[in-house]
Structure 1
């Protein structure tokens, strides 16, 4: 690997570190907007539940790469807050489908709108093609990372 490529990779690592640090701070803010007692990492769970409409715990565990026991505890916390519900799976009586409650959906949507407003404000001066390319490259990076 030549020195220029190594320096470029160090720059990528630096920018990723900055992005992740900011992301953690934003996650705290957004989580508090959804519910004052919500753990910051739970926003990602709510995002997946909002995207899927309803999903089995095992499928969500696989998709997120989180152990079923850990995920079950996190989901239980969201149930206690009234944000998530379990309903019997119509195809398998032993399993349950997870989904957002109406309250969870409303709170998530309001917090997401605020987050999207921040993203929109950050990227509003960028040309639309740059935003599209940024989204494409982030997706490619995330796909390769897993």
Structure 2
């Protein structure tokens, strides 16, 4: 068998394991933020936490999802009191999204627990390996889009 093909199968196997584990963690972390939060919404909160404020259209483009789909998800987060939508000062037809104070507090608490877990998993790795792992994940994610 071709060595490159076997290596790609190994990558696919490890990605599948990572994604399966990630889905389980997403359920746990979402529940830590709010008992009614959908697991996929944690990722939205992560992006909103990264930005102070972001236009709905820009976030939809970045996440590669439709504006309608994102708008429905945002409405759910607004109903939970985690996200606010305000008119864009440069274009009143557009919306700016940001986390509410409660959304920031809940997200930060859940993220701290998640980061502690990641820290424990990677604690025995040399710092150079952790940096290389982060670099390669970034490279992979950027190439995927």
| TM above 0.5 | yes
Match of 1:40?
Answer: 39
User: Cα distance, 1:89 vs. partner?
Assistant: 1.0
Deviations for 1:56-79, whole angstroms, at most 9, x for unmatched residues?
A: 110000000010000000000000
Unpaired segments ≥5 residues, structure 2: none
Deviations 1:66-120 (A, max 9, x none): 1000000000000000000011111111112100000000000000000000000
Other-structure match for 2:48: 49
**TM-score after normalising by structure 2:** 0.98
Q: In the alignment, what sits opposite 2:28?
A: 29
Name 1:90's counterpart in structure 2: 89
Residue 62 (structure 2) pairs with residue 63 (structure 1): yes
Q: Which runs of 4+ in 1 moved over 4 A?
A: none
| Displacement of 1:21 | 0.1
Q: For the residues of structure 2 that align with 1:102 and 1:33, how far apart are their CA atoms?
A: 16
Please, which moves more after superposition, 20-29 or 86-95? 86-95
Secondary structure of the equivalent of 1:38? Answer: coil
Structure 2 SS opposite 1:117: helix
Aligned residue number for residue 103 of structure 1: 102
- Secondary structure, in 3 states, of the residue corresponding to 2:106? helix
How big is the shift at 1:53? 1.3
Q: What's 1:120 paired with?
A: 119
1:135 corresponding residue in structure 2: 134
TM-score scaled by structure 1? Answer: 0.98
Query: 1:41, CA displacement in angstroms?
Result: 0.2
Which blocks of at least 5 consecutive residues in structure 1 are unaligned? none
Give the whole-Å Cα distance in 2 for the aligned partners of 1:13 and 1:96: 39
